[in-house]
Chains A and B, each alone.
Chain A
């Protein structure tokens, strides 16, 4: 009579092999994809003709076909671009008695540079031969300049960074009531330093 035998054990020794096989499959197929980048709004079609803008309110940047950066017609190192952009945007050239005086600007108040941040326009021109990598670097520096100024104002007004506000706003876990509040704050900062970037191609 068969006695009570123990159930035979399954050999688990090859489990590791199977797991390895799967692991290697996923290792090979994995491509950690990026889903982040620089957001940009293109101007609407048919809005190219700008009203006459005084020369001092334009910050002309040109990237030529050899990937050289020309700011105001002068050859400039890419590393200086951020500081120069901040200086231009934050200039606030209008006098204290004039309409449109920039009370929060901390710049040089040079009459030859921009009047007010909401009048200051950054004009980015690129050549057909410009490399995309360089173009993105310039774009990145311009965004960085705006972010630096906006962070400063957000710190002054709301004791937090502008980029932190934006991150919180796009976070799906934030409640709708909070989002409304955040949106108002973001708008307020954006009004202080509106991003006015005009792009053109020049051969």
Chain B
């Protein structure tokens, strides 16, 4: 009588999948917490440049975001491929830009109005001409605090050969 009997048709034991939901839930919670729902639907190309010496934008309620870039697919037919300005969900012409920003500032609660930062989210392929115009307009309405919003990374990656 041998002590070690080999069972003839022993099946390979199945891997327990009972903990699969737990793993998936873990991932789910991770994505739920890091998700920031987009505030605006982007209508312009917006690949931000990289910079290393960045500072975090504190206090989201004091920030007005301005997007600059060339219009995306359905809009490029009517608007061409030159960079355009987008505030909230619409395209804004340079002439109206100052007024629109003033309007945005006035939507904020009164005690925050003097601490407004304008976050410029500009596509890295855009040209400086429009950016200078935008900055000039911002100076005219006295919204002087700006932030060139970028990704964190090596700034030398921005250079397009």
Residue ranges of A at the interface with B (Cβ–Cβ < 8 Å): 12, 15-16, 19-20, 22-23, 26-27, 29-45, 63, 67, 78-79, 126-137, 139-141, 143-144, 147, 166, 170, 172, 199, 201
- Docked Cα-Cα span, A29 to B25, in Å, equals 17
One digit per residue, 1 when the CB lies within 8 angstroms of any chain A CB and 0 when it does not, for chain B 141-152 equals: 010111111111
- Sort chain B's interface into a size bin: 35 or more
Q: In the assembled complex, how far is the CB of residue A31 from the closest CB belonging to chain B, in whole angstroms?
A: 6
B138 lies within 8 A of chain A by Cβ: yes
Quick check: B158 and A35 within 8 Å, CB to CB?
no
- Docked Cα-Cα span, A42 to B21, in Å, equals 53
Quick check: B150 and A34 within 8 Å, CB to CB?
yes
Chain B hits for A36, CB < 8 A: 54-57, 149-150, 152
One of B5-13, B88-96, B99-107, B121-129 at the interface: B121-129
Quick check: B147 and A38 within 8 Å, CB to CB?
yes
Closest to B56 in A: A36
Other A-B pairs, 13, CB within 8 Å; known A30-B35, A44-B144: A16-B21, A16-B24, A26-B32, A31-B36, A37-B148, A39-B145, A39-B146, A40-B146, A42-B139, A67-B160, A132-B122, A132-B123, A137-B155
- Docked Cα-Cα span, A143 to B52, in Å, equals 9
Cβ contacts A to B, 9 pairs, < 8 Å: A16-B21, A23-B31, A36-B55, A36-B152, A38-B51, A45-B140, A129-B127, A132-B123, A133-B125
One digit per residue, 1 when the CB lies within 8 angstroms of any chain A CB and 0 when it does not, for chain B 6-38 equals: 000000000001001100110110011011111
B131 lies within 8 A of chain A by Cβ: yes
Chain B hits for A78, CB < 8 A: 156, 159
B71 lies within 8 A of chain A by Cβ: no
Q: In the assembled complex, how far is the CB of residue B97 from the closest CB belonging to chain A, in whole angstroms?
A: 14
Chain B hits for A140, CB < 8 A: 51-53, 155
User: Which 3 pairs across A and B sit closest by C-beta, in order of nearness?
Assistant: A128-B129, A133-B158, A133-B124
Quick check: B21 and A132 within 8 Å, CB to CB?
no
Closest to A127 in B: B128
Chain A hits for B110, CB < 8 A: none
The residue that B51 contacts in the complex, of A30, A31, A136, with Cβ under 8 A, is A136
Quick check: A37 and B159 within 8 Å, CB to CB?
no
